[in-house]
């Protein structure tokens, strides 16, 4: 269940008559518990309900709740808190109600809710953790935005049903515009902008027939009034009952937009939404959530997209807000300096090229207003109107509804700031009519010219087109109110990996990059935005940018191809290292993101690295977001350090006929059995799956063919290969006895490294295989000294691989050429090698001690410490030993590990590799 669905279920429960028997289970059901779970909890014979109180219901790890006699709610909450079962069963929430009042406590942080029973639905956000949704405090306390999203969604769907044809693109825009008008009216009627409280909804209720047949006409007339100047109203014959609405316009009500027809249900939904208290709207939360309403494919994720204010500030603070605040502190009470700062702020432009519902712009605006009000207070000008033009906060957004909402969100944010700083009356005077429109451009940012849309100097905006044939965009040209001085480009543009981009996104990328590089095809979509921002910076004197991005932008092969294009034009002014960017999706682990800030290359100030709570000033930041000058790690054919060679494993390409399950290999005749070897790929190694293969050397074919089983398998291999569309594979049907790709030399033992591994695991799963094992579809070191395994099993190696090789979705992607051959290892003494060998042996022994646990079991982060402490301890010793070799002590964190590695790498590529072993030839065709 998503947050909107939960809210609806909770509201239904609160509205229904109170049923003391059913309440605990209905409450749990509203938070997504399945009927079978509830049945078990209800069943007297099941031990599912762990409560030790009569009538109590306890769900382990979640909640202990009890319905009590009237007037005993507070006492019952105390009993629940003190109950031994509450502690024993690790309960998160306790809840008591008598159907009149309602009390609950979150035992983890002591937060409480106490309200009348019918109002408990307003606190549903408090309990979202019950549904596995971890959310920020702001959402928990601001249930309104989720509520409004749910109600508007119902209305939107109902209107689509009632108005066939409105689901087509052209009509959708009208519907979106209509929804934006409605939201504005709901807000305006609850904030006295419409003079009397609830005027809009009340007028619909009174003037439209109950059968809903004329609802659209009533709405039309009200909208007509709002777009007609008072002096023209008589001539326009505005009906008396609509004449009470003020002139709004500002694009929102201009032009004729047809109002959709309403069914009775739609009308009642409209009234229901209107009766919410829209004063509580929070434009930076609401906008993010409401966007999904208009997108059929996104509606499933309704209410889940919310970018928290702290995360947005991770971009805006270091980009420019911190500096403004510092200047405010420096100015103290100096009236001149304060005035200069205020004037500077009036000229600052903020631009989000993928603004969605405008949340970055809204927060930037609100924060700047907060600084401005400080200035005004210190200058004794408390009642001064703002000099920060709202239209300096500009955006581009592809989706029409989001662009509408972005504009509305900014208008609402301005009103709320005016109320806060100037008072309700002044805010109302300033609010209407809305003066400007369309400073949020609805279009494709990768096809538009940012410099002409958002010129850094002057006030004029050039006319622009979104393609070479000058298709005009539906937008008015709005000049800036103030001469520009600084432009800050910000946001969280879409991340779309190269494989997932649509044809039109591919064409956008081509459009952006084609003249600069031929490598763009492997770039993430967000690279288009970063590159356009870098072009903007390099073409202007006083601009900077910061975007949130997935951390993949600073990882993997992409780095060496993408970042030279950026760093030629700009420098990294700051970087915020990996942090989780979560939304409201249940069990949402969140994407791991970074923030990268770019500035003009001529900027002299030190750069900053934000790592959790620690901020470091550094001379420069590398594209891997480590301290240091630009360095690019490129794939190598041989190791840079004095380590063994790592080869890609063998590939059978046999239609599966050379491979045998355990049962199959046991059933083989004696002739065939001598050719059987264990085979290991990632699955066999990590999951402990036993598999075997036939491994027949060229000079053993005749002998092997004495077995009927082998002959039959050879036939099947030959047939399978012959059918291959690849000529090279088909040619191998003549040699069905062997794997097509054989890279293993003659060897006694092999160390295996899977090609991908879950990012959840604290270490890369590396291991020594049983003798004679064949490695397939993984990497292998053959007859390598065991200390090589200690290197691969270390934390420092994992950190290097994660950064240099990047990830495949949520899995580390290993590469011998890019990850192992580039891994910088200090020169190892014999003693070092002996110590590391012992560490590797200890890891192997620890795993054996936990037999038959698999690698997947032992390296499960949730279980490793508690169930497999020997393995954890062996890895700790390995890390300790290796890290001492690097720096004489343990590293403090991964940042330090990475920085040491890059420092060493840079030194090593400057001079010939320390002592590179002669490479053994890549034995493609040879058989061991
Ligand atoms: C990750 S969202 C960020 C929006 C907003 N800042 C937020 O946090 O909700 C990216 C936005 O970029 C928009 N978008 C995608 N491709 C675009 C393009 N080529 N030009 C302009 N906007 C685009 C999407 O519609 C979406 O609203």
E runs forming strands in 98-158: 101-106, 112-116
Q: What is the pLDDT of residues 847-867, one digit of tens each?
A: 999 999 999 999 999 999 999
- In angstroms, the CA 595 to CA 576 distance is 5
Q: Which of 91-105, 461-475, 664-678, 834-848 is predicted least confidently?
A: 461-475
354 token code pair: 């993928």
The reply to whether ligand 1 has any atom less than 6 angstroms from the CB of 406 is: no
Distance from the alpha carbon of residue 462 to the mean position of ligand 1, in angstroms = 23
The reply to whether ligand 1 has any atom less than 6 angstroms from the CB of 494 is: yes
* 918-927 mean pLDDT: 33
E runs forming strands in 473-602: 486-491, 543-550, 570-581, 591-600
Whether the pLDDT of residue 728 is over 60: the answer is yes
Distance from the alpha carbon of residue 399 to the mean position of ligand 1, in angstroms = 8
Q: Which of 251-265, 485-499, 836-850 is predicted least confidently?
A: 251-265
Distance from the alpha carbon of residue 282 to the mean position of ligand 1, in angstroms = 20
Q: How many CB atoms lie within 10 A of CB 183?
A: 24
Ligand 1 atom with minimal separation from the 352 CA: 6
pTM: 0.81
Give per-residue burial for 49-78: e unless 16+ CB within 10 Å, then b.
Answer: bbbebeebbbbeebbbbbbbeeeebeebbe
The reply to whether ligand 1 has any atom less than 6 angstroms from the CB of 356 is: yes
Confidence of residue 913 (pLDDT cuts 50, 70, 90): very low
Which has more confidence, 592 or 69?
Answer: 69
Distance from the alpha carbon of residue 747 to the mean position of ligand 1, in angstroms = 54
The reply to whether ligand 1 has any atom less than 6 angstroms from the CB of 511 is: no
Percentage of the chain exceeding pLDDT 90: 66
Contact between 264 and 218 under an 8 Å Cβ cutoff? The reply is no
Q: From 675, 657, 672, 664, select the one nearest 732 (Cα to Cα).
A: 657
Which has more confidence, 109 or 623?
Answer: 623
Ligand 1: residue whose CA is nearest its atom 27: 356
Give every CB contact of residue 357 below 8 A, 6+ residues apart in sequence: 286, 287, 288, 290, 291, 402, 405, 406, 409
Question: What's the pLDDT score for residue 5?
Answer: 84
Distance from the alpha carbon of residue 415 to the mean position of ligand 1, in angstroms = 25
The reply to whether ligand 1 has any atom less than 6 angstroms from the CB of 491 is: yes
Question: What's the pLDDT score for residue 265?
Answer: 93
């Amino acid at each position: 269940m998503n947050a909107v669905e939960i809210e609806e279920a909770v509201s239904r429960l609160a509205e229904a008559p109170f049923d003391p028997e059913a309440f605990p289970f209905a409450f749990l059901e509203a938070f997504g518990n399945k009927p079978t779970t509830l049945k078990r909890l209800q069943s007297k014979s099941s031990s599912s309900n762990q409560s030790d109180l009569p009538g109590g219901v306890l769900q382990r790890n979640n909640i202990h709740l009890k319905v009590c006699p009237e007037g005993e709610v507070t006492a019952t909450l105390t009993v629940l808190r003190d109950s031994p079962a509450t502690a024993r069963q690790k309960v998160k929430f306790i809840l008591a109600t008598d159907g009149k009042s309602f009390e609950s406590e979150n035992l983890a942080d002591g937060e409480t809710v106490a309200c009348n029973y019918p109002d408990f639905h307003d606190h549903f956000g408090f309990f979202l953790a019950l549904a596995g949704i971890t959310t920020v405090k702001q959402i928990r306390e601001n249930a309104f935005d989720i509520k409004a999203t749910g109600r508007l969604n119902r209305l939107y769907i109902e209107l689509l049903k009632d108005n066939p044809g409105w689901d087509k693109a052209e009509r959708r825009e009208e519907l979106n515009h209509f929804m934006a008008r409605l939201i504005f009216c709901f807000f305006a009627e609850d904030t006295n902008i419409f003079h009397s409280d609830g005027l809009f909804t009340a007028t619909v209720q009174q003037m439209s027939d109950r059968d809903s047949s004329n609802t659209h006409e009533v709405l039309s007339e009200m909208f007509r009034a709002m777009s007609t100047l008072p002096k023209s109203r008589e001539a326009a014959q505005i009906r008396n009952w609509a004449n009470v609405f003020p002139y709004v316009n500002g694009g929102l009500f201009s032009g004729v937009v047809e109002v959709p027809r309403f069914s009775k249900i739609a009308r009642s939904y409209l009234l229901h939404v209107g009766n919410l208290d829209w004063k509580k709207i929070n434009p930076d939360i609401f906008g993010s959530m409401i966007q999904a309403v208009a997108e059929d494919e996104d509606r499933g994720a309704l209410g889940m997209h919310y970018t928290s204010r702290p995360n947005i500030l991770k971009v805006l603070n270091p980009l420019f807000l911190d500096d403004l605040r510092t200047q405010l502190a420096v100015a103290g009470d100096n009236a001149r300096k304060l005035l200069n700062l205020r004037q500077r702020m009036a000229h600052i432009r903020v631009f989000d090229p993928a603004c969605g519902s405008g949340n970055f712009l809204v927060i930037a605006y609100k924060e700047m207003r907060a600084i401005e009000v400080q200035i005004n207070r210190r200058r004794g000008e408390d009642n001064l109107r703002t000099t920060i033009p709202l239209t300096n906060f500009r955006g581009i957004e592809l989706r029409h509804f989001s662009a509408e909402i972005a504009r509305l969100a900014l208008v609402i944010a301005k009103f709320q700031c005016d109320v806060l700083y100037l008072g309700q009356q002044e805010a109302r005077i300033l609010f209407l009519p809305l003066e400007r429109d369309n400073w949020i451009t609805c279009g494709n940012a990768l096809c538009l010219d940012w410099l002409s849309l958002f010129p850094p100097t002057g006030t004029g905006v050039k006319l622009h087109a979104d393609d070479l044939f000058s298709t005009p965009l539906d937008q008015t040209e709005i000049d800036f109110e103030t001469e520009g001085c600084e432009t800050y480009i910000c946001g969280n543009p879409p991340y779309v990996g190269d494989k997932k981009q649509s044809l039109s996104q591919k064409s956008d990328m081509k459009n952006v990059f084609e003249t600069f590089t031929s490598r763009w095809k492997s770039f993430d979509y967000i690279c288009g935005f970063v590159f356009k921002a870098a072009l903007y910076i390099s073409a202007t004197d006083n601009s900077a940018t910061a975007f949130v991005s997935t951390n993949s932008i600073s990882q993997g092969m992409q780095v060496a191809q993408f970042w030279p294009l950026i760093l030629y034009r700009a420098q990294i002014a700051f970087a915020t290292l990996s942090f989780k960017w979560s939304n409201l999706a249940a069990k949402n682990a969140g994407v791991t993101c970074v923030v990268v800030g770019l500035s003009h290359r001529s900027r002299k100030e030190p750069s900053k690295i934000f790592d959790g709570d620690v901020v470091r000033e550094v001379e420069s930041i590398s594209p891997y977001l480590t301290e240091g000058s630009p360095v690019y790690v490129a794939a190598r054919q041989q190791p840079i350090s004095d380590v063994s060679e790592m080869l890609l494993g063998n590939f059978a390409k046999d239609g599966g006929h050379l491979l045998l399950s355990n049962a199959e290999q046991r059933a083989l005749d004696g002739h065939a059995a001598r050719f059987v070897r264990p085979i290991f790929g990632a699955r066999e190694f990590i999951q402990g799956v036993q598999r075997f293969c036939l491994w027949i050397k060229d000079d053993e074919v005749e002998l092997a063919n004495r077995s009927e089983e082998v002959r039959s398998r050879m036939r099947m291999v030959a047939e399978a290969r012959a059918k291959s569309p690849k000529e090279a594979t088909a040619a191998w049907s003549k040699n069905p006895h062997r794997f097509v790709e054989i890279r293993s030399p003659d060897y006694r033992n092999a160390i295996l490294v899977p090609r991908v591994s879950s990012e959840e695991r604290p270490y890369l799963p590396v291991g020594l295989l049983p003798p004679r094992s064949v490695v397939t579809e993984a990497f292998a070191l053959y007859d390598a000294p065991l200390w090589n395994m200690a290197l691969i099993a270390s934390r420092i190696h994992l950190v290097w691989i994660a950064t240099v090789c990047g990830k495949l979705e949520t899995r580390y992607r290993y590469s011998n050429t890019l990850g192992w051959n580039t891994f910088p290892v200090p020169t190892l003494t014999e003693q070092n090698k002996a110590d590391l060998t012992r560490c590797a042996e200890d890891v192997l022994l620890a795993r054996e001690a936990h037999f038959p646990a698999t690698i997947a079991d032992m390296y499960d982060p949730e279980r490793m410490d508690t169930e497999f402490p020997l393995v954890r301890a062996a890895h700790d010793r390995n890390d300790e030993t290796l890290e001492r070799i690097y720096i004489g002590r343990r590293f403090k964190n991964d940042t330090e590990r990475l920085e040491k590695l890059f420092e060493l790498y840079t030194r090593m590529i400057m001079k010939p590799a320390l002592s590179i072993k002669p490479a053994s030839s890549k034995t493609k065709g040879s058989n061991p």
